C-alpha cells in the first residue's frame, strides 16, 4: 500500500510540474472556479486573448487596484502581509487580505476559492512555482484571462464585450478602472449596472493609474511583447 501511495504521489507531482511548465505557453483549459460557477448555474463566459490584445489601460488598472508592487516583488508582498496580519489581530470580525496578483493567479488557476491553512499552503507553493518559471507578463496575462469579472464572466475580454461592447484592446482608462474596481467581489460589485462601490473605487484607481504610469518597472511589464 505504501509503495502504491508513493507512486501516486510521484505521478501527481510530475503531472502538476509539467502542467505548470506547459501553462507558460498554453492557456488553462478550465479552472475550478469557472467549473463551479457553471455547475451552480451562473454560466461561463470567457474568451482568452493574448497579452498584446489587452489594452495597456487594463493592465495598469489591475496593477493599481490589486498589486502596485507587482513588477518588483517575488510573488509575495511581505510588507502588506505584515500590515494585514496586524489589522486582522485588532479586527477579528473584519478580515483584510494581502494577496498579490501572483498569489491570485496561483489560486485562480490551480486551486479553489475560500480559505484554510491547507489551501493557503498550496497557494504559496504554486505562487513560488509560477514566479520561478513564468515571466511577469505571463502571470499578468493569465490573471487577466481567468479572473472573475462578473457573475459567470471570466477575463477582461469577456468583461469588455459584456459591459462595453468592445474588445479588451479598446478599453479606455475609465472602462478598465471599472473592471478592476469590481475584482474584489465581482458578483456583488457590478460594472453594469454600475454599483456605487465600483463608481467610487474606479475614480480612485484612475488617480492611482496616473501616479503609476511613469514607473519604469511597471511600464516594462505592461509594454512587454
pLDDT at 6: 82
pLDDT tens-place string over residues 111-159: 988 778 888 999 999 999 999 999 999 999 999 999 999 999 999 999 9
Least confident of 2-16, 30-44, 101-115: 2-16
Where are the domains positioned within the chain?
A: 49-222
pLDDT tens-place string over residues 176-207: 999 999 999 999 999 999 999 999 999 999 99
pLDDT at 90: 64
Q: What is the DSSP string of the chain?
A: -HHHHHHHHHHHHHHHHHHHHHTTTS--S--HHHHHHHHTTS--EE----GGGS-HHHHHHHHHHH-TTTTTSSS--HHHHHHHHHHHHH-TTS------HHHHHHHHHHS-SS--HHHHHHHHHHHHHHHHHS-HHHHHHHHHHHSEEETTEESHHHHHHHHHSS-GGG--HHHHHHHHHTTTSTTTS-TTTT-HHHHHHHHHHHHHHHHHTT-HHHHHHHT--
**CATH architecture label of 49-222:** Orthogonal Bundle (1.10)
Tell me the whole-structure pTM to 2 decimals. Answer: 0.91
pLDDT at 87: 58
Q: Provide the pLDDT confidence category of residue 80 given band limits of 50, 70 and 90.
A: confident
Q: φ, ψ for residue 101 (rounded to 5)?
A: -60, -35
pLDDT at 76: 87
Model confidence at 82: pLDDT above 90: no
Amino acid at each position: 500500500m505504501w509503495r502504491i501511495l508513493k507512486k501516486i504521489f510521484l505521478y501527481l507531482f510530475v503531472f502538476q510540474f509539467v502542467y505548470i511548465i506547459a501553462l507558460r505557453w498554453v492557456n488553462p483549459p478550465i479552472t475550478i472556479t469557472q467549473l463551479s460557477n457553471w455547475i451552480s448555474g451562473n454560466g461561463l463566459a470567457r474568451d482568452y486573448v493574448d497579452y498584446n490584445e489587452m489594452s495597456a489601460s487594463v493592465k495598469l488598472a489591475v496593477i493599481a487596484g490589486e498589486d502596485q508592487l507587482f513588477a518588483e516583488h517575488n510573488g509575495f508582498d511581505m510588507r502588506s502581509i505584515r500590515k494585514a496580519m496586524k489589522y486582522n489581530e485588532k479586527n477579528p470580525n473584519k478580515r483584510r487580505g494581502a494577496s498579490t496578483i501572483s498569489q491570485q493567479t496561483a489560486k485562480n488557476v490551480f486551486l479553489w476559492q475560500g480559505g484554510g491553512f491547507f489551501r493557503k499552503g498550496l497557494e504559496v507553493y504554486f505562487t513560488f512555482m509560477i514566479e520561478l518559471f513564468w515571466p511577469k507578463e505571463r502571470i499578468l496575462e493569465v490573471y487577466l484571462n481567468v479572473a472573475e469579472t462578473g457573475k459567470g464572466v471570466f477575463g477582461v475580454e469577456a468583461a469588455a464585450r459584456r459591459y462595453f461592447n468592445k474588445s479588451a484592446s479598446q478599453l479606455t482608462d475609465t472602462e478598465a478602472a471599472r473592471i478592476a474596481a469590481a475584482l474584489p467581489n465581482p458578483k456583488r460589485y457590478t460594472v453594469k449596472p454600475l454599483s456605487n462601490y465600483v463608481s467610487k473605487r474606479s475614480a480612485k484607481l484612475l488617480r492611482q493609474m496616473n501616479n503609476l504610469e511613469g514607473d519604469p518597472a511597471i511600464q516594462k511589464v505592461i509594454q512587454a511583447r
